Amino acid sequence: MDQMTLETWMVKWLEEHRAFIKESTYGNYSALIHNYIIPRIGGISIREIDEQCVQEFVLKLLSHGSKRCGGGLSEKTVHDIWNVLKEALRKAYRQRLIDHADFKVSFPSSCVKRPAVILSDRDFEALSDYLSSHSTARNLGVLIALYTGMRIGEICALKWQNIDLTERLIHVQHTLQRIYVKKQNNRNNSYIAISPPKSRTSIRSIPLTANLAESLNCFREKNKVCAEDYLLTCSTQYIEPRSFENYYKKILKFVGIRDIRFHGLRHTFATRLIEHGADYKTVSELLGHQSVTTTLHLYVHPQLSQKRQCVELLEYTKCNIAVETN
């Protein structure tokens, strides 16, 4: 047991852990382990892993961890890798395979968080107008993302039976995604999984605007769709997220909008709601987050105009003080 390598332990830990995590989480863990942990430090004896070893590992990932371009990985990705490694080492400690697992790892203060890209007000209106005037199943899917903040996997899994046009509600109950599982032989296995959303709070009901509900109702009546049909295909056959995102990017190019990820529509939805005075708790529940903190930290991106209005409050206050003094 003393000669057990980190690679052997990580593979063993992942398989034992599989029964307690979602399929998508298992796929993510597998990719992080086989793409980054095993190739770089997998050959080390598990008993030789110490704080200096993991600290150097983290710094190397940040500086040149990318397999594609040779540059550094994002801080978020490295945090994800470290969290998986840390969890596995803690279990090894509980099983008395190692003597210590409470490693402290620091991240350089120079790590800069990349701001999420969202649609400007002008681009939002242009995209919304185009989608509304060109009513197809896939266009309705993009329109729903604009006005509900749903994740792409949730929209791909959406069936007409989940849309209540009488109450003007969408019931989010499933997500669809392709799961990639990295194997030791360096081959990828993949399959489609349709499962409950990301967390329990992600199972939610989202109100529809009157215009969006009307667009959906007109489309349903015109195309005679069935309850079991997927929204994006009007049939019992689904479309997977990668194909839907490729379609979405073609729409952006056609309308003349800069290329942003489909997930940017979710950021746009949250940011616009906050800018227009919606309270954080309500926005958090619409997004299906487990806490308001997640919403504020990841999905609220004030535009420059909001920042200008904010600092102008100082001048407004100064003027009021001067008037009161006189």
Residue 170 host element (H or E):
strand 169-172
Give me the residue spans of the domains in the chain.
6-94, 121-299
Per-residue pLDDT at 180: 80
pTM score, whole prediction? 0.78
Distance of alpha carbon 181 from the chain centroid: 19
DSSP 8-state class, residue 45 = B
Are 275 and 244 contacting, i.e. CB atoms less than 8 angstroms apart? no
Angle between helices 280-287 and 263-275 (to 10 degrees): 160
Per-residue pLDDT at 219: 97
Name the CATH topology of 121-299: hpI Integrase; Chain A (1.10.443)
Are 175 and 151 contacting, i.e. CB atoms less than 8 angstroms apart? yes
DSSP 8-state class, residue 71 = S
Q: What is the mean pLDDT of each run of 10 residues along the chain (326 residues)?
A: 85 93 88 93 94 94 79 89 96 92 84 74 96 96 97 97 97 92 68 85 94 96 96 97 97 96 94 86 89 73 61 61 53
- For residue 35, the number of C-alpha atoms closer than 13 Å in the C-beta half-sphere is 21
Alpha helices in the chain (DSSP H): 6-17, 23-32, 38-41, 51-64, 75-94, 121-133, 137-148, 152-156, 210-223, 241-255, 263-275, 280-287, 292-299, 304-325
Cα–Cα nearest to 89, from 166, 22, 160, 10: 10
Task: Write out the DSSP string of 233-292.
Answer: TSSS----HHHHHHHHHHHHHHHT-----THHHHHHHHHHHHHTT--HHHHHHHHT-S-H
Per-residue pLDDT at 127: 97
Name the CATH topology of 6-94: DNA polymerase; domain 1 (1.10.150)
Tokens read off for 254: 């056609």
- Residue recorded with tokens 């940040």: 62
Per-residue pLDDT at 230: 98
